[in-house]
Amino acid sequence: MFEFIKDSKNRYKNLVDGEWVASKEDTYIDIYSPLDESLIGSIPAMTREEVDLAVHAAKAAQRKWKLTTIDERGEILYRAAEILLEQTEELATLMMREIAKDMKSSRSEVSRTADFIKFTADTAKNLSGESIPGDSFPGFKSNKISIVRREPLGVVLAISPFNYPINLAASKIAPGLMAGNSILLKPATQGSLCGLYLAKVFEAAGVPAGVLNTITGRGGEIGDYVTTHPEINFINFTGSTEVGARISKLTSMVPLLMELGGKDAAIVLEDADLELTANNIVAGGYSYSGQRCTAVKRILVMEPVANQLVEKIKEKIKKLKVGNPLTDGDVDIVPLINTKAADFVMELIEDAKSKGGKLIAGGNRQGNLIEPTLFDHVTTDMRLAWEEPFGPVLPIIRVKSKQEAIEIANSSVYGLQSAVFTQNINDAFYIADRLEVGTVQINNKTERGPDHFPFLGVKASGLGTQGIRYSIESMSRPKATVINLPDQT
Ligand X SMILES: O=C(O)[C@H](O)COP(=O)(O)O
Ligand Y SMILES: NC(=O)C1=CN([C@@H]2O[C@H](COP(=O)(O)OP(=O)(O)OC[C@H]3O[C@@H](n4cnc5c(N)ncnc54)[C@H](OP(=O)(O)O)[C@@H]3O)[C@@H](O)[C@H]2O)C=CC1
- Known catalytic residues are 259
Is residue 163 at the binding interface for ligand Y, with CB under 6 A as the rule?
Answer: yes
Task: Tell me the chain's radius of gyration from C-alpha atoms.
Answer: 24
* Phi and psi, residue 60, nearest 5°: -70, -45
Using the minimum distance from each CB to ligand Y, give the nearer residue, 65 or 162: 162
* Phi and psi, residue 359, nearest 5°: -75, 115
- Residue 447 partner contact from ligand Y, ligand X, none using kind-dependent CB cut-offs of 5 to 8 Å: ligand X
Distance between alpha carbon 199 and the CA centroid of its chain, in Å? Answer: 17
Using the minimum distance from each CB to ligand X, give the nearer residue, 293 or 409: 293
Closest CA to 6 of 42, 32, 51, 37: 42
What does the alpha-carbon distance between residue 137 and residue 355 come to, in Å, rounded to a whole number?
A: 62
Is residue 260 at the binding interface for ligand Y, with CB under 6 A as the rule?
Answer: yes
Closest CA to 24 of 55, 61, 51: 51
- Residue 368 partner contact from ligand X, ligand Y, none using kind-dependent CB cut-offs of 5 to 8 Å: none
* Phi and psi, residue 128, nearest 5°: -120, 155
The continuous run of DSSP H or E covering 237 comes out as: strand 234-238
By CB neighbour count within 10 A (0-12 exposed, 13-18 middle, 19+ buried), where does 403 fall? Answer: exposed
Q: Binding string to ligand Y for residues 65 to 94, with x set by CB under 6 A, is what?
A: ------------------------------
What does the alpha-carbon distance between residue 116 and residue 139 come to, in Å, rounded to a whole number?
A: 45
In this chain, which of 293, 296, 336, 428 binds ligand Y, going by CB under 6 A?
Answer: 293
Span from 6-14, 135-143, 157-165, 356-364 in contact with ligand Y (CB under 6 A): 157-165
Contact residues: ligand X, CB under 6 A: 163-164, 168, 292-294, 447-449
Cβ atoms of 50 and 24 closer than 8 Å: yes
- Residue 243 partner contact from ligand X, ligand Y, none using kind-dependent CB cut-offs of 5 to 8 Å: ligand Y
- Residue 449 partner contact from ligand X, ligand Y, none using kind-dependent CB cut-offs of 5 to 8 Å: ligand X
Closest CA to 272 of 304, 245, 229, 297: 304
CB of residue 135 to ligand Y, shortest distance in Å: 43
In this chain, which of 166, 193, 243, 397 binds ligand Y, going by CB under 6 A?
Answer: 243
Using the minimum distance from each CB to ligand Y, give the nearer residue, 180 or 261: 261
Is residue 261 at the binding interface for ligand Y, with CB under 6 A as the rule?
Answer: yes
Q: How far apart are the first and last CA of the chain?
A: 66
Using the minimum distance from each CB to ligand Y, give the nearer residue, 260 or 397: 260
- Residue 325 partner contact from ligand Y, ligand X, none using kind-dependent CB cut-offs of 5 to 8 Å: none
CB of residue 139 to ligand X, shortest distance in Å: 47
CA atoms within 13 A on the CB side of 260: 24
Q: Which residues contact ligand Y (rule: CB under 6 A)?
A: 159-163, 186-189, 218-220, 223-224, 227, 238-240, 243, 246-247, 259-262, 293, 388, 390, 416, 457, 462
